[in-house]
Amino acid sequence: MKLRTILATTSAALALAGAASAETMKIGITQNNVGVDSYQTTYEKAFIAAAEANDAVETVVLDAGGDVARQIAQVEDLIQQEVDAIIIWPTNGEAVIPAVRKAHQAGIAVIVTNSNIAEPGFDFVKSFSGPDNITQGARSAEIMCDKFKEMGVENEAKVVHITGQPGYTTAIERAKGFEDRLPEVCPNVSIVDTQPGDWNREKSQTVMEAFLVKYDDIDGVYAGDDNMGVGALNAAKAAGRDGIIFVGATNFAVGYEAMQAGDYWGSIYQSPVDDAEAALQTAIDVLKGEEVPFLNYFDTPKITQENLDEFSKPVF
């Protein structure tokens, strides 16, 4: 009886797969700059793996190498190849809009991944799949506030804020999420200074060194990503300043290790694998005609020293 059920299920699944391959979805992706950092490298691997595991899709994987002109040419190539959907990781949120409009006019579904394009282009896009950076900033504020409450310093704690590169949407959104949320949950905690660390560990370390000279009393550091957070941590360690609570975002392997060592309190777990799989799934759902929200965020949970074991160490 049991064997028969399994057999039946298997054959049903096979039949389904056969039906799907009869009308394969052709999905093209043009990425921002694979190979420049670990996140994007891992994203591409995960995307290809997810596409290969799914018989219903056929993919064309391209990379713009950070070059807007090349990305526009790639979108035009994909239009020529008559793909069903284009996933784009914009090299520049403004400059790619004309190309996106062209794809839209050619009847191709466009999905934006990871970082959104500018608002004038929203009409030509079916869905944005990516992390919600404002929520990430807000969650970092909550992580920090909860820890201050646990330590009993929520009424006097002073925080310095190291942001990503000025002008980057991700940097602006995370900073906004953090700065809006912190006064809501911990109204008496003050942000005493904000400076950019440019997503760069060394720059962040230099900024933190100046903060340590300028302020005798720093209770918390919020950094726009773990790379900068660890840079700030290195500065504090070198200056022999203990007891500072470090919270970052985009948990990197270095941040994860610093949490294991007990030096770094928390971060936001954003997996490039989830990011890539969510983008592919969004494209598939759009092509199947399913209802997909315009801002289709994938979840980026809080990670702290307390729940560290529930997450695997990031590969980047």
Partner 1 sequence: MATITRRQVGDALAQQGILIAFAVFMVAFTLANPRFLEVDNVFSVVRSSAILGIMALGVTFVVISGNLDLSVGSMMSFSTIVVLDLHDQIGPLLAIPAMFAMTLCLGALIGFLVGYLRLNSLIVTLGMLSAIHGLTLTYSGGQNMDIADKEGTWFGVFGQGFALGIPVPILIFVALAALLGLVLARTPFGRKVYAVGGNSAAATFSGIRRGRTVFVCYLLSAACVATAGLIQASRSLGSQNTVGQGLELEVLAAVILGGASLMGGSGTIFKTVIGVLILGFIQNGLLLIGLPFYVQFVVTWIIIILAVWLDIAAKRGRLWSPIA
Q: Which is nearer to partner 1, 18 or 35 (CB)?
A: 35
Q: Which is nearer to partner 1, 180 or 202 (CB)?
A: 202
As measured in angstroms, the least distance from the Cβ of 32 to partner 1 is 12
Q: What are phi and psi of 110, to 5 degrees?
A: -110, 130
As measured in angstroms, the least distance from the Cβ of 252 to partner 1 is 7
C-alpha to C-alpha distance for 110 and 97, rounded to whole angstroms:
11
As measured in angstroms, the least distance from the Cβ of 98 to partner 1 is 27
C-alpha to C-alpha distance for 141 and 144, rounded to whole angstroms:
5
As measured in angstroms, the least distance from the Cβ of 206 to partner 1 is 5
Whether 163 contacts 122, CB under 8 Å = no
C-alpha to C-alpha distance for 245 and 240, rounded to whole angstroms:
14
Whether 286 contacts 292, CB under 8 Å = yes
Q: Which is nearer to partner 1, 173 or 225 (CB)?
A: 225
Q: Which is nearer to partner 1, 124 or 222 (CB)?
A: 222
Nearest to residue 275, comparing CAs of 127, 129, 60, 168? 129
Nearest to residue 283, comparing CAs of 111, 44, 54? 111
Q: Which is nearer to partner 1, 257 or 274 (CB)?
A: 257
Interface residues with partner 1 (CB under 8 A)?
Answer: 34-38, 40-41, 166, 193, 195-196, 200-202, 205-207, 209-211, 213-214, 227, 230-231, 234, 238-239, 252-254, 257, 316
As measured in angstroms, the least distance from the Cβ of 223 to partner 1 is 14
Whether 78 contacts 72, CB under 8 Å = no
Number of CB atoms found within 10 A of residue 56's CB: 17
Q: Which is nearer to partner 1, 57 or 233 (CB)?
A: 233
As measured in angstroms, the least distance from the Cβ of 215 to partner 1 is 10
